[in-house]
Structures are given as C-alpha cells and as structure tokens.
Structure 1
Amino acid sequence: MKKSTTGLLLGSALVVGLSGCASSASQSSGMGDSASSDRAWYQHPAICGLAGGLIGGGIGYSVTNDDDETDGAAVGGTIGATAGALLCAEPNKTPATPAPKDTDGDGVIDANDQCPGTPAGVAVDAVGCPLDSDADGVPDYQDQCPGTPAGAEVNALGCEADLVLRDVNFEFDSATLTMGAEGILDGVADKLRANQNVRVRIEGHTDSVGSDSYNKDLSQRRADSVADYLASQGVDRNRMRTIGYGESQPVATNDTDAGRAQNRRVELGEWE
C-alpha cells in the first residue's frame, strides 16, 4: 500500500476516533459531576492523547519522504497527541453565582436592607423599611391616622388625639354593630394586629336622650361590643380596656339631631 494511502486511512481514523471520544466526553460532562467522574477509560484526556499521538505519528511517517520519516513521525505524533487530549478534555465549568438573598421577601436584598424582617406584604421604601407616608414615626401598616400633618406629635397609634371611629354605628337602642361598622373595624383590627406593642382604650359615648344611668350602661355595652369584635378578628382582649361615659362628655350640642349624632360615638385611644 502506498504511503499516501496509509496516511489518508490513518488520518480518517484519527478524525473518527477522536471525534467519538470527544463527543462521548462532552455528553458525560453535560450530565453533571457524578456522570463526569464515571467517564469511560477511553474518554480520559491521557488516553485520547496517547491514541492521537500514535495515529498522528503514523500520519506524519506516512506522508513524508523517506529521508524525513523520523521527523515527520515526531511532528505528527506531537500534533496528534495535543489534538486528542484537547478533544477529550472536560470543558471549564464556571461556578454558578448564587442569587442575592432577600430573606423577608420585600424586594430589597439583604445586603441593602436596613429593616430586615419586614412582615410579608408590607410596602417598603428603597432601603427595605416600611413606608411612613406622613413621616410621623408610625409606619403606614400600623398607622390608625394616616395623613397626620407634618411635625405633629402623635401617640403609638399614629394619632394626635383619640380617634373617633366614624360610622361605627349600632342597631337602634342596642349594642349590636351594623354590618358597615364591622367593615370599618376590620381595618382597625388589621393595624392593631400589626402593632402588637400598643394597648388601646375603647370609649363609648351617647347623647342626652334617656336617663344618665341608662346611657352609661348603653355606652359601656357598645364599647364592649367593639372590643369583642376586635378580639374576634385576632386582637388580644387583654390589650383593650373599655369605658362607658354615657352622656357625660358631649362634643356637640344635644339640642339638634346633628349634634346628638356627633355625641353618639366610639373613640379609640392609647391605653398607657
């Protein structure tokens, strides 16, 4: 057989054989670390390099003149060994960069979060702290009086004074809350649950229609009814104190319907 024909056959063997090793090695590497550690013996770079060297040396020997056979074999062997080792080498694996942690899930990563541990669902600012829209020191999710004027001194509820629970009304001549009143108290309860460190006073007031003793009893029952509803919504009853003042603390005249309506009220304040 002519040397050129021999070189062609060996060259084909080199391409086919090393391509097969490289393909197998690449597939094994793609299957993960455990698969990579179980690679077949013939996929090892050293084996591929040895095979490449032998085949490359044969090619070099076959395609050179008789006077240069030794040099041709050496050069071919070096090139074949290098090519075989590179083809079967494992690709470089760049470690995956871990995703930044956001432990409280507020959208601000821990490294930048100045208020870690924000409760789930609470709106935060750029540094991860709960929003305080009126800047009164009580965050919005705990503030019973949002929109307090700038610079105003507030209590732990975020209010300048006791909060009149507007539209918290009762059935006629009773302590039964209306459905509308319950909806308003749901919002109050949400913020009280979020503000566990505050205790509250719940005060009942009436107009002057009826006897003093009757009105005092009715106002107490209404204050208790509010506290009971808040407790049913998860506010600890021990955090609430109820007081019925009857008609003794009017905020408007009792001579008009509008005035009497203002006097029939329930107030929420901080219990210090």
Structure 2
Amino acid sequence: VKRSHDVPEDAAFFAISPWLDADALYVRTGDLNRAGFAVAVGMSVPIGERRNYWLGPFVRYLHILQQPERIGFDNHDAKVLLVGLSLEIGNGVRREPAAVVASNAEGRTVTKATYYCPDRDNDTVPDHVDHCPDVAGPMDNWGCPLYQKIVVKKDKIELKERIYFAWDQAVILDASFPVLDEVAQALKDNKGFRVQVEGHASSEGGDDHNQTLSEKRAEAVLDYLAAHGIKVERLKSRGFGSSVPADTNTTLAGRENNRRVEFVVYFIIVDEGSK
C-alpha cells in the first residue's frame, strides 16, 4: 500500500510516499514444506521534476515457521531483518502546461534587432579584423592575399627580404624590384591604405650624411612606387639616419643589421581613408 505519486508539483513535502508491504510465504526446501510471512515498511522520495525515479529507505522482516520438529536439526524459526534502500523506476508524471491567463494589459510590438559585421570584400573575414578589407584573402592570413615577398599586417607591410641599394647611394638595385613590385600590388589591392616609407642607416659616417642618405633612400622607394601606379598622395617618406638602430654598432654584423635593407624601409599604414 502506498500513496499515489501524482502529487501537485508545488507540494514538495507531500510528494514523499510512505509504503507498507505484507506477504504470506510458502517455502519448500527438498521434501520439507514450511509456511512463513514477510512485512516491510518504507518511504520513497521523488528524484527529478518528472518523478521517473524514487529512492528511499525500508525495513523488511522475514519469518519462516519451522514445523514439524525434526531430530538432529535446528528447529528454531528462521528470522531475518533487512534494512536497505529501495529504487523505483517508472514512467513519471506528465505535467500539463500552465494555463496562460489573459490580461487587459495593452499589447506591444517587440522589434528584434539584427546585427552584422561589415565585410566589404566578402571573404568571410569581418572588416574589424581584416588586414586587407578591400581585397579577399583567407582567414589564416588575416583576410589578405598570400603574397610571396611581403606580409600585410594591421599597422605595416613587412618585407620578407632585403632591399638592396648601390653602396652609399640612393639607387635601388634590380634585385629588389620584385619585392617592391609586390608592395605596389598590395597597395593597389588595398586602395584605402596610405603608407609612410622609413629609411634607416648604420652609425658609420657622420650623422648628417646618414640622415641625408636615409632620407634619399626612402624617397627612392617612394618614387619607385609612384612610378608603378601608386598615387603620390597616398605616400610619405622619412629618413631616420642612425637614430633608431636595430642592433649594436660596435661589430661588423651589428652595423650590417643596422644598414638592414630588409628593415631599412618600413611601410607603416597611416590611415585607411584615401583612395
């Protein structure tokens, strides 16, 4: 005998289900027939809103009557007391959805706002993270085409190889034309970029000489880009002489790095507005 499991959901205490069980037993062992009985009491507590599972403690008493008496055997009644936990599994209780009570409140219209990230080159890379928002490129290259000799970053164009000049002159050697051609192509692809070309030198020679040489080399690169289709309004040049060394000037290798043609010219994106 037990209480029904279908108790209102908000009656948590009354969901506990006590139960009582009584059984009459017939026990046969070999040619011996015996009578017995079992009684149990316990309670079950629901687990989960659907009440598919019930768990609770119980106590069960089992008594087997030992008759008739037999010589040479223990003729006492068999008595067993069990204490344990019971687990019930069922279909649960189906809850009807709560009724919606109509009110006289004045209805209102809710407009759902839709937000999207601009992507003007339609390469699935949003403009706010796209380093090349005017030309399509893969996500793993920050939305830029896979150039061979340069890398377009958010604030500059890095060169993968050196720019070679004639010794102590602002004359670009032919070997550096391919990398500058690729810079020009990147600027054509990204028409919103305006760049500043920066030249650097080692500490050999006087400061005035190094300053003048770095300025003329930066101007030479600017002129090359202008001659290859980039509007002058998008270009600026500046020389730093030996004021911003990348390495020590006390060794031959360090001075070579400071005359770093690879790093002598930096292309820094000033803004992204002029075409």
In the superposition, the TM-score normalised over structure 2's length comes to 0.45
In the superposition, the TM-score normalised over structure 1's length comes to 0.45
Which is greater in Rg? 2
